[in-house]
Chain A
Amino acid sequence: MKKSLWRSLLNSPKAVPYFFVAPFVLSFLLFYLYPFIATIQMSFQRIAGFGDVTFIGWSNYGRLLNEHFFNALRTTSQYTFWTILVLVPLPILLAVLVNHKRVRFTGFFKSALFIPALTSVIVAGIFFRYSFGEQATTLANAVTGLFGMKPITWLQIKGPAMFALVLLCTWRWLGVNMVYFLSGLQGISQELYEAAEIDGAGAWDRFRCITLPGLKPVIIYVITISVYGGFSMFAESYAFWKTATPGDIGMTIVSYIYQMGFNNFDMGFASAIGITLVILVMLVNLIQLTCFGFFKKDSD
């Protein structure tokens, strides 16, 4: 009886898909949806230690209006802006170069640029932290020293610290984004280029009128994940400064969540920051996707 029920289920075209996606749905419900709902609930509570929980309405959200949160918001937004500014045009350029018929050793370049993405962010972060040390003998200061500059305390000044963070991000993700754009380039028909060449279009015109529009879906995708990545950045900052960033110069929104949740055991407030971050990232991406015409129906 049982066997036949199983058999009929597995042979039913309606039921089988559900059976196969069940593991993913279950893990989503258990590890994503449930914590998310719990976080929303906690963001309205004052959790003052063990066995001491009270509902306090919007108070935690009211507490967000403080200097540390605005600092974190500013730092995170700047970081996201710079990473997008570097990590879209540069990989496109490299992808076009690597994709070119006359460039040799393309396999080597692809691998070499992709390898950093496989390293642990903490290991890379520590390596960069040492490189950007303040002694005259560190890598960064040795380089600037060649130009006659005095040693800089990189990780204790706002601008240089941001530079170090963006450089680390670029080093790690340049290869990955390049691979995305390479796959986008494969999708552009060669005939278009040939036709343009016959019509007398130069290299720049071909890039502007064929390559860029052809890459648009990939560009939208890369920007979208960069926004998520930028706003949820934590590990890089942690590797540079642990949890207490001098003068908040490297404190991101996620660092702030971590600090409030674990350093100060203020889970209610940390949850409120988390929910605010989710809303913020969704808003930024909605605006960005609308600007790119992602939601428009193709007019042709």
Chain B
Amino acid sequence: MRRITAWLLILIVALAMAFPGYAAPKATTLTFWTFQELHKGFWDDAVATWNKAHPAQPIALKTEVYNYDEMHNKLLVALQSGVGAPDLADIEISKFANYLKGKTPQLVSLNSIVKPVLSKCIKARFDNYAKNGQYYGVDYHVGATVMYYNKEYLDKAGVDANKILTWDDYVAAGKKVVAATGKPMTTVEVTEQWTFYPLLSQYGSDIFAKNGKVILDSPANVKVLTFLKDMIYKDKIAIPAPGGYHHSEEYWAFMNKGGAASLMMPMWYMGRFVQYMPDLKGKMIIRPLPAWKKGGNRSAGMGGTGTVITAQSKNKALALKLMAAAKLSKEGAIKTWTLLGFDPIRWDVWSDPAMKADNQYTNYFGKDIFNMLTDIKDEIGPTVITEKYPLAIDLIKKNVSFKALKEQSATPEQVLKEVADELRK
């Protein structure tokens, strides 16, 4: 009896070894580094979706969330030393140029998955992460800069947001709002770049020209910075942002109490409203930016985070497939809105019914967000990014706005020239 049982066992084991396909396939582990807890949720969802669709090729994603600086430093050191880098990583736009420096790219070209869908996407968002015709990163959002108006204040001052078409209209409206409510029309960042930079881009100017030449001190940029200074000190409709920038805790507290009547920030700032300024729910409306001239651009693409695949990955082909499914597919693009509240890089989903479904963002700001976005889709200019971009952003943060708008220790012209000269060295 025992012998028969033993033979049976041997037979079963032999059969199992002869047909390994019947055993469940083992999941491939991919590692992912990010500095944004929200992104982890997005990728976990993407992997769950992938595993449902590809049961024969399951993936286990090991995500590590670090703080912003720590993650970028760790990744830089790992790529520099040739060991320890993850398969996938998020790199914030102002740091991205550092990872494209040098002769031997440490990131994998994504052309094979980007090119097929590029015509349905906002191309400028891919150019930010490109070098020598190769795309190295896929963004989460367009980062369209918009104006968030506090409708209560505008109504009090008898101002219609839809009639504010140019910056001149905006200043005139601002004066009415200040007179009627005693609140400033807006706040201006003095220690970060989110006020000065979108206005440059909207004006059709930039920090660098297409050929990489520094044009930060161009007359157009002087005009933009002077305009901001005038809004604060001449027209008296703006104040320097409390805390210095729109991401300081002080600022959120100030704004939550209805500190200012409007705010210019990219679409991704919606999440900050929902999270940190709950008292403004139902009071804020989103509109395109006023144009510099009638018919001019009414937005600018700002900020961003490119997800990359590192050259050290041992599963590049699988990582590419996952990246395509998670971020470049229609479903993935819709998820960037439903899960993250971002404006998807694929414009062909903006009119999708899924984008109209209720979520925390439509509850806060109303439903017509994407109609407005579709309206300004072709009014988002590209931004030129060179190897000196991280330094340029640093100097704009530290010196440009601060010296010209807060300290007033230098005129807009002087400070722009000073920083441009440093970038030219």
Q: Which A residues lie at the B interface, using CB under 8 A?
A: 48-52, 66, 130, 133-135, 138, 155-156, 241-248, 259, 262-265, 267
Q: Cα distance A267–B81 when bound, in Å?
A: 13
Q: How large is the interface on B (under 10, 10 to 19, 20 to 34, 35 or more residues)?
A: 35 or more
CB-nearest residue of chain B to A66: B422
Tell me whether B191 and A134 are in contact (CB under 8 A): no
Residues 156 to 215 of chain B near chain A (Cβ within 8 Å): 190-192
Q: Which of B72, B101, B244, B249 contacts A48 (CB 8 A)?
A: B101
Tell me whether B244 and A244 are in contact (CB under 8 A): no
B132: CB under 8 A from chain A?
no
Tell me whether A50 and B244 are in contact (CB under 8 A): no
B394: CB under 8 A from chain A?
yes
Q: Mark B240-279, 1 if CB is under 8 A from A, else 0.
A: 0011100001100110000000000000000000000000
> Which of B317-325, B355-363, B374-382, B396-404 contacts its partner?
B396-404
Q: Mark B376-393, 1 if CB is under 8 A from A, else 0.
A: 000000000001001100
B104: CB under 8 A from chain A?
yes
Q: Cα distance A264–B243 when bound, in Å?
A: 25
B102: CB under 8 A from chain A?
yes
Min CB–CB distance B80 → chain A (angstroms): 7
Residues from chain B with Cβ under 8 Å of A243 in the complex: 69, 394
Q: Which of A130, A156, A262 contacts B244 (CB 8 A)?
A: A156
Min CB–CB distance B205 → chain A (angstroms): 22
B105: CB under 8 A from chain A?
yes
Tell me whether B394 and A246 are in contact (CB under 8 A): no
**A–B Cβ pairs within 8 angstroms, 10 of them:** A49-B387, A51-B102, A133-B242, A134-B242, A134-B243, A243-B394, A244-B191, A247-B409, A263-B391, A265-B390
Chain A binding surface, main DSSP class: loop
Residues from chain B with Cβ under 8 Å of A50 in the complex: 79-80, 101-106
Residues from chain B with Cβ under 8 Å of A246 in the complex: 190-191, 244, 397-398, 402, 406
B76: CB under 8 A from chain A?
yes
Q: Cα distance A248–B397 when bound, in Å?
A: 10
B5: CB under 8 A from chain A?
no
Min CB–CB distance B293 → chain A (angstroms): 32
Tell me whether A134 and B98 are in contact (CB under 8 A): no
CB-nearest residue of chain A to B388: A264
Tell me whether B103 and A52 are in contact (CB under 8 A): yes
Q: Cα distance A263–B387 when bound, in Å?
A: 12
Q: Knowing A135-B253, A246-B191, say if A264 contacts B103 (CB, 8 Å).
A: no
Tell me whether A264 and B394 are in contact (CB under 8 A): yes
Min CB–CB distance B411 → chain A (angstroms): 15
Residues from chain B with Cβ under 8 Å of A248 in the complex: 398-399
CB-nearest residue of chain A to B192: A244
Q: Knowing A50-B79, A244-B191, A265-B76, say if A135 contacts B242 (CB, 8 Å).
A: yes
Closest 6 A/B residue pairs (Cβ): A49-B101, A49-B102, A50-B102, A51-B104, A265-B98, A244-B397
CB-nearest residue of chain B to A50: B102
Residues from chain A with Cβ under 8 Å of B98 in the complex: 49, 264-265
CB-nearest residue of chain A to B397: A244
Q: Cα distance A213–B31 when bound, in Å?
A: 61
Min CB–CB distance A60 → chain B (angstroms): 13
Q: Which of A134, A242, A262 contacts B72 (CB 8 A)?
A: A262
Residues from chain A with Cβ under 8 Å of B95 in the complex: 263
Min CB–CB distance A30 → chain B (angstroms): 15
Q: Knowing A50-B105, A262-B76, say if A133 contacts B250 (CB, 8 Å).
A: yes
Q: Cα distance A262–B104 when bound, in Å?
A: 19
Q: Knowing A134-B250, A262-B76, A265-B76, say if A247 contacts B402 (CB, 8 Å).
A: yes
Residues from chain B with Cβ under 8 Å of A259 in the complex: 394
Tell me whether B101 and A52 are in contact (CB under 8 A): yes
Tell me whether B102 and A130 are in contact (CB under 8 A): no
Min CB–CB distance A21 → chain B (angstroms): 29
Q: Cα distance A156–B242 when bound, in Å?
A: 11
Q: Cα distance A247–B402 when bound, in Å?
A: 6
Q: Cα distance A170–B18 when bound, in Å?
A: 73
Tell me whether B103 and A51 are in contact (CB under 8 A): yes
Min CB–CB distance A229 → chain B (angstroms): 22
Residues from chain A with Cβ under 8 Å of B190 in the complex: 156, 246
Min CB–CB distance A247 → chain B (angstroms): 5
Residues from chain B with Cβ under 8 Å of A52 in the complex: 101-104
CB-nearest residue of chain A to B107: A50
Residues from chain A with Cβ under 8 Å of B76 in the complex: 262, 265
CB-nearest residue of chain B to A247: B402
